[in-house]
Amino acid sequence: MLSEKNLQEIKEFEEKGASVVAVDSDGKLQYSTQGKCGSEYCDQCDAFRLMPDPDPSDWFRDNDMKAVCLEVMGVIVGSLESPSEYTNIRKPLYCPKIGRELSKEEKKEAKERLKWARKRMK
């Protein structure tokens, strides 16, 4: 939960034309100037989290983050380098809250992507 002071600072930054992303210590996106886009995006879902995604063979990119869905226990997207990449992440086909019926081909693709997403979560 953002404090009054945090909200005031966000308002001041936005008035100056800056985009703001606020993430709490649990990796939950608390606020995003760009991310209030409705149901086709993950970043406003309660199951959405940001977690560290370091690459052991890439020593200079240790601050990478990955977007994770706790509902399906899978990685949505990895190797996010900056806060501007944390928002407007579109729901994957395997999202249980996608809000539409999938075609037969989409269901097959969603099954494969979910398998990969869960494997990457380990």
Give the pLDDT of residue 36.
Answer: 44
Instruction: Please tell me which residue, 109 or 57, carries the higher pLDDT value.
Output: 109
The pLDDT > 70 percentage for the chain reads 88
Which amino acid is residue 42, in one-letter code?
C
Those residues whose C-beta lies under 8 Å from the C-beta of residue 5, and which sit 6 or more positions away, are: none
Whether the model clears a pTM of 0.85, i.e. scores above it, the answer is no
Per the prediction, the chain carries an average pLDDT of: 83
Tens of pLDDT, residues 50-96: 998 877 776 666 778 899 999 999 999 988 888 888 888 888 989 98
Instruction: Please tell me which residue, 6 or 92, carries the higher pLDDT value.
Output: 92
Is the model's pLDDT at 26 over the cut of 90?
A: no
Q: Within the chain, how many helices (H) and strands (E) appear?
A: 2, 5
As a whole number of angstroms, the distance between CA 24 and CA 49 comes to 10
Question: Scanning the structure block, which residue is given the tokens 């081909």?
Answer: 105
Cα–Cα separations (whole angstroms), residue 20 to 2, 9, 11, 112: 13, 10, 9, 34
* Mean pLDDT to the nearest integer, 26-37: 66
Partnered with residue 74 across adjacent β-strands are: 69
Task: Tell me the three state secondary structure of residue 98.
Answer: coil
